[in-house]
Amino acid sequence: MDNSSINSSVPSESDSQSTMTHEKPVHGLEGENAKKLISQEAASRVTTREMRESSSDSGDRIRSSGDDSKLPHDAPFTLLSHGQKWFMVALLTSAGFWSSLGSPIYYPALKQLEKKFDVSEEMVNITVVVYLIFQGIAPTISGGLADVYGRRPIILMGMLIYVCASIGLACSQSYGVIVFLRCLQSAGISPIIAINSGVVGDFTLKHERGTFVGAVSGFTLMGQAFGSLIGAALTAAFDWRAIFWFLTIGCGTCMIINFLILPETKRTLVGNLSIKPKRLINRAPILLLQSVRRKFHFDNPDYETLDPNKGKVDPISAFKIILHPEIILSLMPAGLQFALWTITLASISSQLSVAPYNYKLTIIGICYLPSGIGGLIGSFVTGKVIDIYYRRALRRFEEKKEQGIIPIDSKFNTLRARLYTSIPQNFLAVIAFTLFGWSVERGWNIAVPLITSAIGSFCAMSTLSSSSTLLVDLYPSKSSTATSCYNFIRCSLSAIFMACLSKMNNALTVGGTFTLISGFVFIGNFVTLIPMLYGMGWREKRALKAERKAMME
């Protein structure tokens, strides 16, 4: 991009400029001129940088292998190798998995809890609903804390709260205590899902981000798909208390592992990981090893990779983001689909335990396997697909600018690039979930609900991966806060539909309930086209307005 095109560019959002403002001078520019260009026009270089990231046919472009990817005269974006990035995926999954597991693992124990505490079905369902409510609300606060004080301390604190609450639940002797501790359990662990996406954004570039976000999301939310299977096995072998002892031991073990080796990745604190965190809580004990210190070359840190946009704690920051029209219009359809997936998982347990199926608890648990496998495949496949499409779309965009087809200062449509690939499976989800509802309503062959639940899970996880990746792209300096927006919407909608599910089934039948909600998802798919077409324009107008306001002040 030449200087004239750089000078004519307008930043699309003040908080989307942060990831590249710390780069070293680009090839061919030296000294004060390069520094001046970088400091004044950092945001306008994002598109150029991403174009270089998305191809490997030129010597000055980032290698797609990801092994210490460097540009000439640049510090590497991250010191993590490709293999180490996947190890980070495993670490993040070991933390976030317990959040998604905490709700469905509890479903098989509901009948036992009704008898134990002598409460109605509606009353015991409150313990499910409050978990979902806090799963949506808590990340909007903790996500902002992670964006300011670092990812590592918030993740570890959340896991500690979860472990303590699980111990209390396992020992609880009253229904009221269970409701309270379920709220505490959810509030502690649920922010980790949003924070995980922020961590991935810290060490990935846009051309590879979809793959890693998809992997973390897929593995993490497998707890939602396989939770009932695990819960059924534990409840059948022991009793409902065994579920919470299992969560205590499992999460406690993972917490110790993460305490020892999970590094701080927040770029305002550690840059590309070459800068030693100042606060002790942000330092993993593994950093004491000499081999690790050499890997991160703490003796020669790349201070220019620090993100200067440190930000401040803002409890309502997530809600400010949600109110942006392109965000709410993108996330609401995705949230509806996730809510539909949630009630599908709940319905597998409730519908297959009665006539005409009358399955035992252990058999019902096995029936969750197809949805789990479908969701896992959906996350991985979509992650790869959205990265491939992103690179192709960006390459075509740059070619059109070079050919003069579009203005040289045009902005790349990130919203379209990330959302486009989710549209086909969104419509497929409508068909799959509708068929699932009517299949269990009419007692069709068990293969039908199992296959449709697998397809629906594939679609739901695909949409989640696309939405999470989009939010990290749009708000790199507030990635945990931004991702918590989707967490809030999907969990809030899930809580609403779960609370109303029994009454809706009585009024509409199971098939009618799924048809109604699938209809909402169908309409939402067309709503998604609006931010794809107009979203980037709205963002640019807001950026211009903010720029004028700053100049006047």
Q: Spell out the alpha helix ranges (H) of 238-368.
A: 240-261, 267-270, 290-295, 317-322, 325-352, 361-366
Instruction: Provide the pLDDT for residue 120.
Output: 83
DSSP state, 61?
S
Domains and CATH numbers, the chain: 82-552 (1.20.1250.20)
pLDDT tens-digit series, residues 304-356: 899 887 778 888 889 999 999 999 999 999 999 999 998 998 888 889 988 89
What is the token pair recorded at 347?
């319905």
Return the minimum-mean-pLDDT range out of 120-124, 159-163, 544-548. Answer: 120-124
Q: Is the pLDDT of residue 46 over 50?
A: no
Average pLDDT over residues 455-466: 91
Whole-angstrom Cα distance, residue 204 to residue 213? 9
Most confidently modeled range among 205-214, 303-312, 447-456: 447-456
3-state secondary structure of 118: coil
Whole-angstrom Cα distance, residue 192 to residue 210? 18
Instruction: Provide the pLDDT for residue 524.
Output: 93
Query: With pLDDT > 70 as the criterion, what percentage of the chain qualifies?
Result: 87
Confidence tier at 451 by pLDDT (50, 70, 90) = very high
Question: Exposed (0-12), middle (13-18) or buried (19+): which is 16, by Cβ within 10 Å?
Answer: buried
* Its pTM surpasses 0.85: no
pLDDT tens-digit series, residues 511-553: 999 999 999 999 999 999 999 999 999 999 998 988 888 888 7
Cβ contact 100:227 at 8 Å: yes
Average pLDDT over residues 205-212: 90
Cβ contact 158:105 at 8 Å: no
**Phi and psi at residue 279, to the nearest 5°:** -85, 140
Instruction: Provide the pLDDT for residue 16.
Output: 39
Confidence tier at 476 by pLDDT (50, 70, 90) = confident
More confidently predicted of 454 and 36: 454
Number of residues that make up the chain: 553
Q: Spell out the alpha helix ranges (H) of 190-237.
A: 191-203, 206-220, 222-237
Instruction: Provide the pLDDT for residue 380.
Output: 83
Instruction: Provide the pLDDT for residue 128.
Output: 85
Q: Is the pLDDT of residue 133 over 50?
A: yes
More confidently predicted of 529 and 66: 529
Distance of CA 127 to the CA centre of its chain: 24
Average pLDDT, the chain: 84
Instruction: Provide the pLDDT for residue 236.
Output: 85
Whole-angstrom Cα distance, residue 361 to residue 112? 12
3-state secondary structure of 258: helix
Instruction: Provide the pLDDT for residue 62.
Output: 33
| Residues 142, 284, 281, 278, CA torsion sign | negative
Confidence tier at 427 by pLDDT (50, 70, 90) = very high
Confidence tier at 2 by pLDDT (50, 70, 90) = very low
Q: Is the pLDDT of residue 482 over 60?
A: yes
Whole-angstrom Cα distance, residue 168 to residue 182? 10
Q: Is the pLDDT of residue 151 over 90?
A: yes
Average pLDDT over residues 499-522: 93
Percent helix, strand and coil across the chain, each to the nearest 5: 75, 0, 25
Instruction: Provide the pLDDT for residue 19.
Output: 39
More confidently predicted of 415 and 54: 415
More confidently predicted of 62 and 531: 531
How many Cα atoms within 13 Å fall on the side-chain side of residue 144? 16
